[in-house]
Structure 1
Amino acid sequence: MTDQPATVRPDRRAEIAAGLAQVRTRIADACADAGRDRADVTMIAVTKTYPAGDVLALAGLGVTDLGENRDQEAAPKAVEVAAAGVTARWHFIGQFQRNKARSVVRYADVVHSVDSVRLARSLGAAAEAGRDRPLETLVQVSIDGDPARGGALPDSADPDRGLGPVAEALAGAAGLRLAGLMAVAPLGWQPDRAFARLAEVAAAFRVGHPTATALSAGMSGDLEVAIRYGATHVRVGSALLGMRPTLR
């Protein structure tokens, strides 16, 4: 971030508008192919590593659902965007340590990446102390069940990482609202295989949590497949905003 107010270059706005038109067409076509209502799928613009000026351009084009994955970048960016008069809906989609919970709850409207009971408890305590309304939360699911990766483990009784215990911790926290599930297709898996497995996990999950219907899945390269398997939120970065700037 800089101390200068965020600005939008006309040429950059035109680039973003062109990318947005293409992504909106892809989503609409995918919904039509799947026999789904376009209104049932929310596009989250993943703005990590992109400047606040891009966020302002997106807002001017009607996009205010924004995704970030690093608190040290997201927190000041949210302040900068708010100072420009834009009301955004921030989705925190990355892994984070429990000591970041108090910071994240200050600006995030939805956290997609809760994958342990310990993190759920820390987030719940921070939300109850630091917010005037419940924080929406999703359980990040491990599709391949590899405990070395991020994500709660389906069909596991692990008291900290099992999907059931994590969901119960979120559902039982006064400062949180359990909204659904999130997943990323594992490396090496074809999208059809990954999202078919996620759809199975989601169907079983909703038996016990019928109001937790959000399903955050699919990115720039595989959003059509995710929509076919029931995604309600797709997380789009490069297809919308171009190649990412290099992280410093």
Structure 2
Amino acid sequence: MRAGRPPEDVTLVAVTKNFPASYVTAAVASGLTNVGESKAQELAAKRIELPELDVRWHFIGRLQRNKVRSVLEHADVVQSVDRVALARAIAKAARESDRFNPSRRLQIMLQVDLDPSPPNVDKDSTSARGGVHPDQLLELAAEVAACDVLELTGVMSIAPLGYDPADCFRRLARLREQLREVYPTATEISAGMSGDFAVAIENQATLVRVGTALFGSRELPF
């Protein structure tokens, strides 16, 4: 690979948003083992339709607190935790769920806002695409780490429009290193989509979220 990294260092998450469950089945048949969904209702519908499929389900979209319990019924990883109130809601629901316990924890990634100058930043604000401001990353991490049924595994981000993805992903890698100094389990970097996943891999991404490049355009909702 041009990034000089072995393929096994990077996990491909197949994003099946707006595609039917048959696309998930086809992805798994081709050897993929990780699938991403960005809507709670789609995640639930596909998981119910494919109960025996051996796949790790990632929730990667903006998550509202009223959808937390639904997502936790079906997701193995939540990549988009971006505010303290959401982390608390997830911790509460996870403790009350029969899916998770200290030996089988819900994996959590913190979504970071990489816009260099987000407007009106305050303690719990997020950008339109989601993400905690880097200055509040450790505070959010502490909230997740305090819950014994959650496992903090790393960071996630989307390169903001109008900025060089390489610069953004380098910043994300530095933030992951700072986080890992305090929380050693935070080893993952989820970065890059169909248009910029190669750049993300060159800048230490360990997961890439790819939909269009695998399945084509999503012109109609599933």
Q: Report if TM-score (shorter chain) is over 0.5.
A: yes
Equivalent residue, structure 1, for 2:45: 76
CA separation in 1, counterparts of 2:53 and 2:69?
Answer: 23
CA apart distance, 1:211? 2.0
Equivalent residue, structure 2, for 1:152: 132
Equivalent residue, structure 2, for 1:112: 79
CA apart distance, 1:210? 2.1
3-state secondary structure, aligned to 1:227 = helix
Structure 2: 5+ residue runs without aligned partners? none
Equivalent residue, structure 2, for 1:168: 142
Q: How many residues align?
A: 209
Amino acid at match of 1:216: S
Equivalent residue, structure 2, for 1:137: 108
Structure 1: 5+ residue runs without aligned partners? 1-28, 156-161
1:126 to 62, 85, 93: 93
User: Could you say what the CA RMSD is over the residues aligned between the two structures, in angstroms?
Assistant: 1.4
Equivalent residue, structure 2, for 1:45: 14
Q: Cα deviation per residue 1:51-86 (whole Å; 9 max; x = unaligned)?
A: 00111111111112000000012111111011xx31
CA separation in 2, counterparts of 1:244 and 1:94?
Answer: 16
3-state secondary structure, aligned to 2:113 = coil
CA separation in 1, counterparts of 2:23 and 2:15?
Answer: 11
Equivalent residue, structure 2, for 1:56: 25
CA apart distance, 1:47? 0.4
3-state secondary structure, aligned to 1:34 = coil
CA separation in 2, counterparts of 1:218 and 1:67?
Answer: 13
Equivalent residue, structure 2, for 1:200: 174
Amino acid at match of 2:62: Q
Q: Is 134-143 or 188-197 further displaced after alignment?
A: 188-197
Q: Cα deviation per residue 1:164-201 (whole Å; 9 max; x = unaligned)?
A: 11100111112210000000000111211211221222
CA separation in 1, counterparts of 2:28 and 2:174?
Answer: 35
CA apart distance, 1:202? 1.7
Amino acid at match of 2:175: V
Amino acid at match of 2:66: N
CA apart distance, 1:137? 0.3
- Confirm or deny: 8 A CA contact 1:46 1:66 kept in the other structure: yes
- Confirm or deny: 8 A CA contact 1:115 1:139 kept in the other structure: yes
- Confirm or deny: 8 A CA contact 1:125 1:175 kept in the other structure: no
Between Structure 1 and Structure 2, which shows a larger proportion of helix residues? 1
Amino acid at match of 2:68: A
CA separation in 2, counterparts of 1:219 and 1:169?
Answer: 28
CA separation in 2, counterparts of 1:174 and 1:110?
Answer: 15
Equivalent residue, structure 2, for 1:180: 154
Highest CA radius of gyration, 1 or 2?
Answer: 1
3-state secondary structure, aligned to 1:143 = coil
3-state secondary structure, aligned to 2:132 = coil
Equivalent residue, structure 1, for 2:5: 36
Tell me the percent identity. 48
CA apart distance, 1:34? 2.4
Q: Is 33-42 or 169-178 further displaced after alignment?
A: 33-42
Amino acid at match of 2:182: G
TM-score under structure 2 normalisation? Answer: 0.90
